[in-house]
Structure 1
Amino acid sequence: MIGVVIPAHNEELCLEACLLSVLAATAHPLLAAERVEIVVVLDTCCDESRAIAERHAVTVIEVQARSVGVARAAGAQYLIDADARWLACTDADSIVPLDWLAAQLAHGADAVCGVVEVDDWSEHGAMVRQRYEAAYMDQDGHRHIHGANLGMTRTAYVQAGGFPAMRCHEDVHLVQALQASGANIAWSRSVRVRTSARMAFKAQGGFGSYLLSLAASLEGGAA
């Protein structure tokens, strides 16, 4: 069985589209009809996220942590207990392609770190986009780590100690632990996810914070 973990904190505006994309990816013919279980981990939600998730064929669990690391770990543990052989992670503000799971598994690696594409740059100036794209390595062998596009075997995840209980950078710490454990990691541009560049982001210190830091550095340079 393949498992997918999606943490969500008040994601009523994005969650529907995310779930539809992941559900579509579960039907890819290269998965040979292997069962895929999707776990949405609601973390301290007070909006319509639960109602949205419950409209779909997914499992919903709840935590009260305001910590994406705690949420991802809870979802991963649920799937491990359900005997998942592969754990895939994305974010509630992201859209995965039809071949997302198939592309991860095709590498035959212990873990796969994919790339992300920003879905809409309208909340940022053109210079922020240019600076971001100039620094981003959209190629095989990149070293970017995104919780929105990450997958690994259950064995590799357990050996690395799982997601730490951190409010941000839990994905980076897990991948570093995977490297330290000797895991074979595929750094692939063929595994792609579209993600949000919204300024009203949920995880302080994450992708949204990075984009704001680029904007701040440009303003500082202008000053």
Structure 2
Amino acid sequence: MIGIIVPAHNEQDFLDDCIKSLIAAASHQELKGEVVEILIVLDDCSDDSALIAHAHGVLTHSCQHRNVGMTRAAGAKLMIERGARWLAFTDADSVVPYAWLADQVAFEADAVCGIVHVNDWSEHPEQVRTRYDSLYRPVDDHRHIHGANLGVSSIAYQRAGGFKALAAHEDVHLVEDLQRTGARIVWTARNSVSTSARKHCRCKEGFGDYLNSLATHTLLG
């Protein structure tokens, strides 16, 4: 079985599109009918995120961590207990392409680090997009790490110790731990995940704060 884990804290505005894209990816013909389970980890949600997940018939798990590292770890633990051989991670404000999951598995690696892109830059001045594009390398063998586009075998994940209880950069620390254990990591530009560029981001020091920092740099520049 393949497990997809999505942490969500009050993500009713984005979650429907996210789940729809995951359901499509889970039906890819190259998965050859292997069971795929989608888990939305509802972290202290007070909006309609749970209702949206239930309407799609996906699995949910509720927690009160308000900590993305702990939330991802809780989801991974549950999926491993349910028999998942591969763990795929994305974010609730993201949309994955159709071949996202099939290609992750097809690499036959210990872990797969993918890239992301932004479709809607409307909350930011054009200078932020220009600055972002000048710094980002959307090519194979990049070294970008995104929780919105990450896959890892259950064996390699457990060998590395799993996600740490960190409020930010939990994905970076996991990949560093994977590298220390000698895991074979594929850094691919295939199947870029579309993610939100909202200014009011859920995770401090995450992707949204990075974009906000580019705005500050542009003003100072």
Quickly name the TM-score band, shorter chain normalised.
over 0.9
1:7 aligned onto 2:12: no
Cα distance per residue 1:103-132 (max 9 Å; x no partner): 111211100000001121111111110110
Indicate the SS of the match to 1:60: strand
SS at structure 2 position matched to 1:122: coil
Point out where structure 2 has 5 or more consecutive residues left out of the alignment: none
Contact kept, 8 Å, 2:42 with 2:63, in 1: the verdict is yes
Distance 2:114 2:34 in 1: 22
SS of residue paired to 1:217 = helix
For residues 45 and 119 of structure 2, the distance between their equivalents in structure 1, rounded to whole angstroms, comes to 24
Q: Is the 8 A contact 1:104 1:191 kept in 2?
A: no
Contact 2:96–2:191 (Cα < 8 Å) also in 1: no
Secondary structure of the residue aligned to 1:147 is coil
For 1:54, what is the secondary structure of its paired residue?
helix
CA offsets per residue over residues 137-174 of structure 1, 9 Å max, x none? 11000000000000010000000000111111000000
Which whole-Å CA distance do the structure 1 matches of 2:127 and 2:155 have between them? 43
> Do the aligned residues in 2 keep the contact of 1:2 with 1:87 (CA within 8 Å)?
yes
CA distance in 2, matches of 1:19, 1:215: 30
Amino acid at match of 1:4: I
Is 1:152 the counterpart of 2:152? The answer is yes
Report what 2:100 is aligned to.
Answer: 100
Structure 1 runs of 4+ aligned residues shifted over 6 Å read none
Q: CA RMSD in A?
A: 0.6
Q: Name the residue aligned to 2:180.
A: 180
Deviations 1:4-29 (A, max 9, x none): 00000000000000000000100000
1:216 partner amino acid: T
- Matching residue of 1:109: 109
Q: 1:72 is matched with which residue?
A: 72
**Aligned equivalent of 1:205:** 205
In the aligned structure 1, how far is the partner of 2:163 from the partner of 2:121? 30
C-alpha separation in 2, matches of 1:71 and 1:2 = 18
Structure 2 counterpart of 1:118: 118
Residue 165 of structure 2 corresponds to 165
**Any stretches of 5+ residues in structure 1 without a counterpart?**
none
Q: Equivalent residue for 1:16? A: 16
**Structure 2 length-normalised TM:** 0.99
Shift, 1:200, TM fit:
1.5
User: CA contact under 8 A between 1:140 and 1:187: conserved in structure 2?
Assistant: yes
Overall identity of the aligned pairs, in % = 54
In structure 1, give the amino acid aligned to 2:94: S
Deviations 1:85-107 (A, max 9, x none): 00000000000011010111121
- The code of the aligned residue for 1:84 comes to A
Shift of residue 217, structure 1, vs aligned partner: 0.8
* Count of aligned pairs: 221
- State the distance in 2 between where 1:193 and 1:175 align: 18
